[in-house]
Amino acid sequence: MTHISGAGHPEHVAAVLRVAAGYTRQSKKKADKSEASPAAQDEANEKKARDRGCRFLRHYRDVGVSGYGPNANRKAFERLLNACRAGKVHEIIVFDVTRFSRREPKDAIPVVLELFSLGVTITSVCEGSFSPGDTMELIMLITRLDAAHQDGKNKSDMIKGAKRTAKQFGGWLGGIPPYGMESYSEQVTREVDGKAVTLTIRLLRPVPRNADGTDQGSVVLRMVDRVLAYKGKRWEGEKNAHPASIGGVTTWLNTNSVPSQKGGPWRTPTVKRILTDPRLAGFAAEAVYRKDKDGAPTGTLEGYKILRDEETGEPVTIGEALIPPPRWFELQEWLEGRLRGTGSTRARYVLTAMDRLRCECDRPMTGSPRIYKCSRAPGVAEPGKHEGGNTINQDEVNDYVARCIMALLMTAEGDPQTLDVLAEARRRFAQASETPVKRSERASLVGERAAVIKSINELYDDLDSGIYEGRIGRARFRHEKEAREQRLAAIESRIQDVGGPEEAALPVEQWTYTEDPGGDPLGRGSWWAGATVAEKRMLVSLFVDEVRIAKAAGRGGVNRVCQVEKRVTVKMASRKPEEAEAYVQAV
């Protein structure tokens, strides 16, 4: 057996035509030049291949990927294994065995045995070579893999324990403070398992204010003030974004030369990241990143998840709030799109900007003075769809839709289908009347509950696939199952505390009131006749899901007649199955 460790002992092998490839892994990207940095690993691996007389093929690198986590997606490692299976690589060079794997030996050994069966040697710069066919070298490699796993487990347990303790004490878990916030240390004493424990934790607080308002905290508050001041106002602009939108805030910051954190121009992803960060409201949170097609996390931020107490479901606080929580939740409601479109150019027309008015070709209809029209570009033909444009008189359509609603309100008794529409309208009316704080917190909790349920299902899938075989595996499964079920119970309890939307009576008498001599609910002196565009849109949104416009059979000639009854189909309000399920769960 040839097993050489340390520097100063070049190795020479007879098979000079053997092809070697280096494998480099590091759990987190580091800015320093430490010995195990990716660049240092690459250099050492390539030198080792030459010392062994191999032709070096290339480096395979997994940077920012754990070697301990069982679900870690090591794409470069899989590509390296495929190269070995294809006979393109005869020797794998790693800096040390921990770079190859920190997983349990039972998970790593099948990979090692497959490589050995392919005639592939595994060489460690620090620990020597492990060749196929040598039982002692296989035993030594298994011993090193077990040591690597135990080291990784100890580090993982230590980090989890530190974070768990900091979380119990209300501490911030570290990282770069959010824009507008700073961290500070504080010594606190809590009772843990019946004993008084004193710990120095880090908390967050707003940065000190400057008199000229140029500090980061003041900049954030000016952003928030601008969004909330403009979100309900009509915007007549044609080219620029609504002032209360992320794009509008970004433009405003750059136009007014507000300095960004790095000194360059503001970008919309940066503004969105700042304004949606729960830590500005004093809540502990973790970033949620988008996943690629293989399910591995990417570097693109998707949003934040508020961390909650495992027993009460209440948000965990990590210091002082820059934005008061009720104001922060109101901000999130707007940014999530619930109120987007209110006051926009399209909102000058009753039926636009609500995703309810559609052409027979399934395209949305847009508004112009006096008409609604299909949004398909002129001259664009689509197979099986109407030729040319599709327009209809705006007042005629508005009148027809309003009369459908009024007919339902005035003849509701005894018709089960009509009662279902009214029930759905009441639900929507209750949601619209609810405070943003309560609505946003319930939506957050329901989303978190779905994520926990998914993780429990995945846990059972892992059990079925044999991951938790053996006595230790079954114990780990039970521990994970109990922890996730406790988390689920806490969330469901909190959802019950928050409650569902309060049932609200529809102001039917107000909507159907009229002073018209003939009793016309849309006539002179009626509610509809005196309502603003926003009020009419509100009524339509409560009672109507879709208004579909068919293309006219032919041109109307000199005396045009709209024939609205033949061309307009109104689909009244109904609850989507997924909405019904979420609503039942929420209440």
pLDDT in tens, 443-484: 777 767 877 887 888 888 888 888 788 777 788 888 888 888
CB count within 10 Å of CB 237 equals 11
Percentage above 90 pLDDT, the chain: 24
The Cβ of residue 408 has, within 10 Å, a number of other Cβ atoms equal to 21
Identify the three-state secondary structure at position 26: strand
Question: Beta-carbon neighbour count of residue 499 at 10 Å?
Answer: 12
Q: What span, in angstroms and rounded, lies between the C-alpha atoms of 523 and 525?
A: 6
Q: Give the single-character DSSP code of 281.
A: G
pLDDT-wise least confident of 66-80, 313-327, 387-401: 66-80
Which parts of 240-371 fold into alpha helices (H)? 246-255, 268-275, 325-335
pLDDT digits (tens, 9 = 90+) for 546-558: 999 999 887 654 4
User: Do 124 and 53 touch, CB atoms closer than 8 A?
Assistant: no
Q: Report whether pLDDT(103) > 70.
A: no
Better pLDDT: 185 or 545: 545
- φ/ψ of 104, rounded to 5, equals -60, 145
Per-residue pLDDT, averaged over 525-548, amounts to 92
473-526 pLDDT per residue, tens: 788 888 888 888 888 888 888 888 776 666 668 889 999 999 999 899 999 999
Q: Who contacts 107 (Cβ-Cβ below 8 Å, separation ≥6)?
A: 70, 101
- For residue 240, name the pLDDT band (cuts at 50, 70, 90): low
Torsion sign across C-alpha atoms 475, 477, 483, 485? negative
What is the spatial distance between Cα 227 and Cα 331, in angstroms, rounded to a whole number?
7
- The lowest-confidence range among 122-126, 191-195, 347-351 is 191-195
What's the token pair of residue 437?
């704080």
pTM for the model stands at: 0.47
116: closest CA among 86, 149, 145, 84?
A: 84
Whole-number pLDDT of residue 483: 82
What are 367-376's pLDDT values in tens digits?
888 999 998 8
pLDDT at 539 over 80: yes
Q: Tell me the range of 25-29, 378-382, 391-395 where mean pLDDT is highest.
A: 391-395
Q: How far apart, in whole angstroms, are the C-alpha atoms of residue 319 and residue 183?
A: 9
Q: Could you tell me which of 570, 74, 497 has the C-alpha nearest to residue 308?
A: 497
pLDDT band at 378 (very low <50, low <70, confident <90, very high): confident
Distance of CA 186 to the CA centre of its chain: 32
Per CATH, the number for 19-160 is 3.40.50.1390
Under 8 Å between Cβ of 113 and 125: no
pLDDT tier, 311 (very low <50, low <70, confident <90, very high otherwise): low
The residue type found at 153 is K
* 151, amino acid identity: D
Task: Give the pLDDT band (50/70/90) at residue 262.
Answer: confident
Please state the domain extents for the chain: 19-160, 213-348, 349-434+502-586
Q: Which one is predicted more confidently, 287 or 15? A: 287
Torsion, Cα of 61, 62, 68, 71 (10° steps)? -130
Q: What's domain 213-348's architecture? A: Alpha-Beta Complex (3.90)
- The pLDDT of residue 585 is 43
Read off φ and ψ for residue 84, nearest 5 degrees.
-65, -40
Chain centre distance of CA 496: 24
Q: Please give the share of the chain, as a percent, with pLDDT higher than 70.
A: 71
Per the prediction, the chain carries an average pLDDT of: 77
389 pLDDT above the threshold of 70: yes
Q: What is the DSSP letter of 89?
A: -
Residue 330, H or E segment: helix 325-335
CA–CA separation, 38 vs 36, rounded Å?
A: 6
Q: Are 316 and 285 in contact (CB under 8 A)?
A: no
Q: Give the type of residue at 298.
A: T
CB 436 within 8 A of CB 333: yes
Region 42-50: what's the mean pLDDT? 90
Contact 203, 183 (CB under 8 A): yes
> For residues 53 and 59, what is the distance between their CA atoms, to the nearest angstrom?
17
Mean pLDDT of 300-318: 76
